[in-house]
Amino acid sequence: MAQVGVVMGSNSDWEVMRHAADQLAAFGIEFEARVVSAHRTPDLMFEYAESARERGIQVIIAGAGGAAHLPGMIAAKTTVPVLGVPVPSRYLRGEDSLLSIVQMPKGVPVATFAIGEAGAANAALFAIAMLANNQPTLADALAAFRQKQTQTVLDMALPLE
């Protein structure tokens, strides 16, 4: 049963959002990935959000670009935590996506991540950290991931003469 839902406004977002999916898969997290558009499939968006908790989804990662209302609208219809990923847009390079997602009015939060691939990967890592609160083996795996990352930097060499 999927623990994490990964949704995006278009399949054109996949190139960014696959970084969330890849990170979840690397930790063995069961997840589902769907295209759900706030303005083009609003009924599907409501149905997805309303059914998420009863289907066992514990965190939703939602990515969208432009006037990116998907994360906020999903958050409006569920109390499952929503992690928003601003997808780079064609004309404003995702600054529009970022501001659309991050500027939620008080009362319905969306945790907002960086624009693009880093945001997608970090949203997945944040979801993993949330799940790890109740899954000790996952907490160990996350600590090992961090340690490996630390060692990679400690081992970095520079091409000095």
Burial label, 1 (beta-carbon count in 10 A; 0-12, 13-18, 19+): exposed
Give the C-alpha separation, 129 to 116, whole Å.
20
Token reading at 47: 């149905």
- With a CB cutoff of 8 Å and minimum separation 6, the contacts of 95 are 115
Least Å from the CB of residue 115 to ligand RP5: 12
Q: What is the CA 16 to chain-centroid distance, rounded? A: 10
- The residue among 8 and 24 lying less far from ligand RP5, judged by its C-beta, is 8
Any contact of residue 41 with ligand RP5 (CB under 6 A)? Answer: no
Give the C-alpha separation, 135 to 149, whole Å.
21
Find out whether 96 is annotated in a ligand binding site: no
| 29 φψ region: left (φ > 0), alpha (ψ -120 to 50), beta (else) | beta
Find out whether 34 is annotated in a ligand binding site: no
Binding mask 83-112 for ligand RP5 (x = CB under 6 A): ----x-------------------------
Least Å from the CB of residue 126 to ligand RP5: 20
Reported residue count of the chain is 161
- The residue among 13 and 131 lying less far from ligand RP5, judged by its C-beta, is 13
Least Å from the CB of residue 48 to ligand RP5: 15
Binding mask 48-87 for ligand RP5 (x = CB under 6 A): ----------------xxx--------------------x
Any contact of residue 12 with ligand RP5 (CB under 6 A)? Answer: yes
Binding interface with ligand RP5 (CB under 6 A): 8-10, 12-13, 37, 64-66, 87
